[in-house]
Structure 1
Amino acid sequence: MTEQARTMVSVAPEVKAVPETVTAAFDEFMEAFEAFKEVNDRRLGEIEQKLTADVVTRDKMDRINRAVDDQKKVLDQLVLKKARPQLGRGGSELSAEVVEHKAAFDAYVRRGEENGLRELEAKAFSSGTGADGGYLVPPEIDTEIGRRISAVSPMRALSTVRTVSSAVLKKPFAAAGLSTGWVAETAARPQTNTPQLTELSFPTMELYAMPAATQSLLDDSAVDIEAWIAGEVDIVFAEQEGDAFIRGDGTNKPKGFLSYPTVAEGSWSWGNIGHIATGVAGGWKSTGPSDTLIEVIYALKAGHRQNGTFMMNRKAQGDIRKFKDGDGNYLWHPPVSAGQPASLMGFPIAEAEEMPDVAENSLSIAFGDFRSGYLVVDRAGVRILRDPYSAKPYVLFYTTKRVGGGVQNFEAIKVVKFAAS
């Protein structure tokens, strides 16, 4: 057997069962990362000695890099699953009003009986009571959907979230503060300039899902209808929200931060997102690629930088995982424990698959204080309208939630542009 053949056999991926616990998944992830560092160090050594890396070494590194991504994905899914609380809670923990609402809602979902919900929402002076508007989901389901969305969508988890009772949230914002000045003890105090306020408007848009069930499923008393509705709705809501908060165009959906105009950081002005160019169209500089990351970090003011988070998809993170500093230390570090994010130059990384892949002029990496920079607006309540007629023999559940969002502080978010300038 040739040396190359022996090498190829040695790098054949080991088939492993999917780990069942977070600890096991974390251990396998760390093993994969250690293997990645070993092979990447060999690749860099070959480049230094021969100006090019061996084909076998490059293939092995790419394969291990993908394995690291796969292990991280499995770890994230297990952590998410573990973090999800159970819907069912003992009746002794619930108030009489909540128990009554849950029972009336269950009767509405299973049998279409509206009287109980009509009376309860009429007593609560609910403006949405009626056959056309549907009925409010009980608090337990409403809370559960929101909690799962927070875990799935990194933008919702990182941003400021406001709950409103109206269709639009208007937020005044002072782009510049008060003018100040030094004066002597007995000198006159001239009037300072009045700060200019900018009014930002965040309308809420309707997000909907329409799961279907057979009447036999609804008649089955063993089925947890609340858990079924939450399970059907939460993931699709989270996917739609996550995409809109990042790339939404603002038409019938929230406006994502990548949809705002961008300008070079040196020409930044309010209303725009500042960008740092990599210097290469669709890629990184061959020497000192990490300089761009340092620039984007220090493009943020210190008050925002201390709360900064990187946001990118897995492919972009796979590229950055290879970067080292001048002392040979890796810039990307794995999570310190299960459930924690990986870090880049000391700042956490939020993985968002909605971020674009690296391409010419793409905005594939963001760095910012998203809590200050982006606002998510939730209109209170999730509503369900039962429709047993439109798709017989199925019963449709038209579930709606009103959500808005947009940038509230243009200083707090910067992006990396993969362009020459």
Structure 2
Amino acid sequence: MDRIDDGLETKAGAGGDIAALFAEFSSAFEEFKATNDQRLQEIEKRGSADGLLEGKLERLNRVIDGHKAALDRVSAERARPALEGKGATVPDGEYKEAFSAYMKRGEEKALQVGVAGDGGYVVPGEVETEITRLMTHISPIRAIAGVRQVSGSVYKRPITVTGPQTGWVGETASRPTTDSQTLAELSYPTTELYAMPAATTAFLEDAAVDVGQWIADEVNAAFAAQETTAFVTGDGNNKPSGFLNGTKVAETSWSWGNLGYLATGVSGAMPASNASDVLIDLVYALKAGYRQNANWVMNRKTQGALRKLKDADGNYLWQPAAAADGRASFMGFPLVEAEDMPNIGADSFSIAFGDFRRGYLIVDRQGVSVLRDPFSSKPYILFYTTKRVGGGIADYDAIKLLKFGVS
């Protein structure tokens, strides 16, 4: 993901005032609209826009993206629950103290609560919750998908593909036997996701160190990046199967087991005129029962391209969030930014639209394990941290794709 060099990254990291950040974000979008309106007027009059104007528009696009990234980080920081040493109420306090002692000095006393048979030590509940909470902020697919927690290694889910056959009959007419419903089974194996942060003994023995928070911060960044990629493009080989890994067919030929798509009709681009028409068609390719909870999913560059589009009344189809911790919307539906979605290119599937809560399922095996290793990399102590996670398409009719191609 490209970083935005406009000062916003530093400001966000310093814990900027969220109201001020939101005001700057809103101001930048208003300037973006005014600049784009000027660009469209020049195109209408002369057939093209001044290059300086195009450049300014792209810079404003980057500024808007930077402000949004800053807002997301500040919101995530404020949403963190208190952990050890920060006034948190700890229901399993004795176990947590033992866990912290184990992390700092390798002590094993009283660490038998919930221990896995492989010798690892299950992270206290508060820390596991913290990792999941932060991943929800950083991993956009996890925030909108369905999530199940399981105790086994594989989650199996039966699903009705077609319902039982029915028919109208007269009062005295015979009742012939009807066909039964058709069932299919979806299987979601969980695979291991790991991180191995390191620390010196001096760092761990510092009384000011919040061990639980440190684990959450270190592991969260590694886990979130890996699983988000897998949920979008994973091939299912020792990782979850991403929704873009599914077999894709034109919507007119859709059948269960495939993801339906509509084509823009132009290789690597939107149509030159009435560009929004194909997006409207994509919205209505989704059945009404799915549309009410639907989200757009695309990356930052694709979002920047769509930000310039207007409807027939001159209103911008992309609208900023109404609140600092909200999501932008496109054509009235929430927009989720996932950088693992492909950039617009020839025959790319760069936009997804659907009810991901029903369309994609994430399976988490209960527990995050930590194995302390003070021997392999002296003077550093390694913490081999693992969780098991799986994922795959749950309803092939709940997600539709836009293909930037002729057909």
TM-score normalized by structure 2? 0.94
- Cα offsets for 1:188-211 (capped at 9, x unmatched): 333221111111110000000001
Q: Find 1:53's aligned residue among 49, 52, 61.
A: 49
Q: Establish whether residue 117 from structure 1 lines up as the match of residue 103 from structure 2.
A: no
Q: Establish whether residue 312 from structure 1 lines up as the match of residue 298 from structure 2.
A: yes
- Judge conservation of contact 2:146–2:361 (CA < 8 Å) in 1: yes
The DSSP-based 3-state class of the residue aligned with 1:336 is coil
1:7 — aligned with what?
none
The DSSP-based 3-state class of the residue aligned with 1:115 is coil
2:239 — aligned with what?
253
C-alpha separation in 2, matches of 1:288 and 1:156: 33
C-alpha separation in 1, matches of 2:266 and 2:33: 26
Deviation at 1:377, TM superposition (A): 0.3
From the superposition, tell whether residues 163 and 38 of structure 1 become closer, same or farther in structure 2 (CA, over 3 Å).
same
1:100 — aligned with what?
94
The DSSP-based 3-state class of the residue aligned with 1:110 is helix
- 2:405 partner letter: A
The DSSP-based 3-state class of the residue aligned with 2:111 is helix
1:236 — aligned with what?
222
Q: Establish whether residue 404 from structure 1 lines up as the match of residue 390 from structure 2.
A: yes
The DSSP-based 3-state class of the residue aligned with 1:93 is coil
Percent identity, aligned pairs only, is 54
Deviation at 1:79, TM superposition (A): 1.8
Q: Establish whether residue 178 from structure 1 lines up as the match of residue 153 from structure 2.
A: no
- 2:237 partner letter: T
Computed over aligned residues only, the root mean square deviation of the Cα atoms, in angstroms, reads 1.8
Deviation at 1:65, TM superposition (A): 1.9
- 1:29 partner letter: F
Gaps of 5+ in 1: 1-12
- Cα offsets for 1:311-358 (capped at 9, x unmatched): 001100000010011111111111111111111111000011111111
Deviation at 1:116, TM superposition (A): 1.8
C-alpha separation in 1, matches of 2:20 and 2:177: 65
- Judge conservation of contact 2:248–2:260 (CA < 8 Å) in 1: yes
- Judge conservation of contact 1:91–1:99 (CA < 8 Å) in 2: no
The DSSP-based 3-state class of the residue aligned with 1:63 is helix
2:33 — aligned with what?
37
C-alpha separation in 1, matches of 2:217 and 2:272: 46
1:18 — aligned with what?
11
The DSSP-based 3-state class of the residue aligned with 2:110 is helix
Q: Establish whether residue 68 from structure 1 lines up as the match of residue 54 from structure 2.
A: no
Moved more, 108-117 or 283-292: 108-117
Larger of the two Rg values belongs to structure: 1
C-alpha separation in 1, matches of 2:250 and 2:167: 32
- Judge conservation of contact 1:164–1:380 (CA < 8 Å) in 2: yes
Q: Find 1:85's aligned residue among 77, 81, 106.
A: 81
- Judge conservation of contact 2:82–2:88 (CA < 8 Å) in 1: no
1:159 — aligned with what?
145
Q: Establish whether residue 372 from structure 1 lines up as the match of residue 365 from structure 2.
A: no
Deviation at 1:254, TM superposition (A): 0.2
Q: Find 1:325's aligned residue among 311, 329, 341.
A: 311
Q: Establish whether residue 274 from structure 1 lines up as the match of residue 270 from structure 2.
A: no
